[in-house]
Each structure stands twice: as C-alpha cells, then as structure tokens.
Amino acid sequence: MHITAGTQRCPGAGQCVLSAPDRFDQSEEGTVLLLDGRVDGEAEEARLRGTVALCPSQAIALEV
C-alpha cells in the first residue's frame, strides 16, 4: 500500500501537511507535495487513513 497525491485536485488547504508533516509538504503555489509515499504496517495505515480523510478535495489517497 502507498499514498498517492494529485496536485490537480488540490486547492492547497494544507490539512495533510498539518496532520502528517513527515509525508506531505506544500509547493510555493500551495499544492500538495508527497515527501514519502510508503505505508508500512497497520498502525501507519490507520494514521494515514485519518490524514486522507481530512483532505477536503480527495486529492490524496491510499492505494494498493
């Protein structure tokens, strides 16, 4: 499982960066930058599912 991030859908709300700054950053334009897409283990999956749920535009996701 890994994280995907689509900048075209991202209005730059920044919730992902606040929730998981080890995985996400924002570009100068404010759109999401994926720093690390790995999802290792159930605890990490649960944590990052919470982050994905915060995104108001479904720009980030967990995929197999």
59 binds ligand SF4, rule: CB under 6 A: yes
Q: Which stretch binds ligand SF4 (CB under 6 A): 4-12, 33-41, 42-50?
A: 4-12
Among 2, 15, 34, 44, interactor with ligand SF4 by CB under 6 A: 15
Rounded Cα gap, residues 29 and 62, in angstroms: 24
Residue type, 10: C
Specify which residues 53 forms β-bridges with.
Answer: none
Binding mask 18-57 for ligand SF4 (x = CB under 6 A): --------------x---------------------xxxx
Gyration radius from the chain CA atoms: 11
Residue type, 23: R
